[in-house]
Amino acid sequence: MIYFIRHGQTDWNKAGRLQGRTNNPLNETGIKQVTNTRESLEKLGVKFDLCFSSPLVRAVQTAKGVYDGEVFLDNRLLERDFGDAEGATGTWAQYMDFYTPPNDRKTYNSESVEEFQARIYSFYEEIKKKHADRTVLVVAHGGVAFISRGYFKKDFNGDHSHFPDMQNGEILIFDTV
């Protein structure tokens, strides 16, 4: 079983900025979200065998706030590199346009959706091979959540538009079978 948590809020999340690889820490709200997420997991009685996190500080802070053991950092869990678009503000629909065909080509000196998807899928293939019988915590980013949903639902065709926005601190649960 895999529990996926999107990192807590940062100032750029609050401002509606496209964050990508920009390495921003959690803000006060984000720290509270992490505490709430931990409490929710404790109420459910969830115990993790392993924890993997994006190496960006906002994800690491979230992972360490939720999990007491060793956190393994994996570059495959980095948010998509949005290149020249990082820091831009826009609506959710505009962000989805950046992810949705025919706009999934490499633009703004950014990582393409195909490159992004390949590294996330690689991560999950390894987890399924090595840890299928374990309860694994994965802490990463909104874009990684989109790709993760597609991977586990086995219906990802490059179109993110049918996936709703994942809130900071939100938990998704995926079965590795």
Catalytic residue among 7, 111, 141, 160: 7
Cα separation, 49 vs 67, in Å, equals: 10
User: In the annotation, is 7 catalytic?
Assistant: yes
Tokens describing residue 32: 């509270």
Among 79, 111, 141, 160, the active-site one is 79
Which residue type sits at 149?
R
Distances (CA, A) of 129 to 110, 112, 124, 136, 146: 30, 26, 9, 13, 22
The residue whose two tokens read 């992004």 is 116
DSSP string, 13-78: HHHTB--TT--PPB-HHHHHHHHHHHHHHHHHT---SEEEE-SSHHHHHHHHHH--SPEEE-GGGS
162 is catalytic: no
What are the catalytic residues?
7, 79
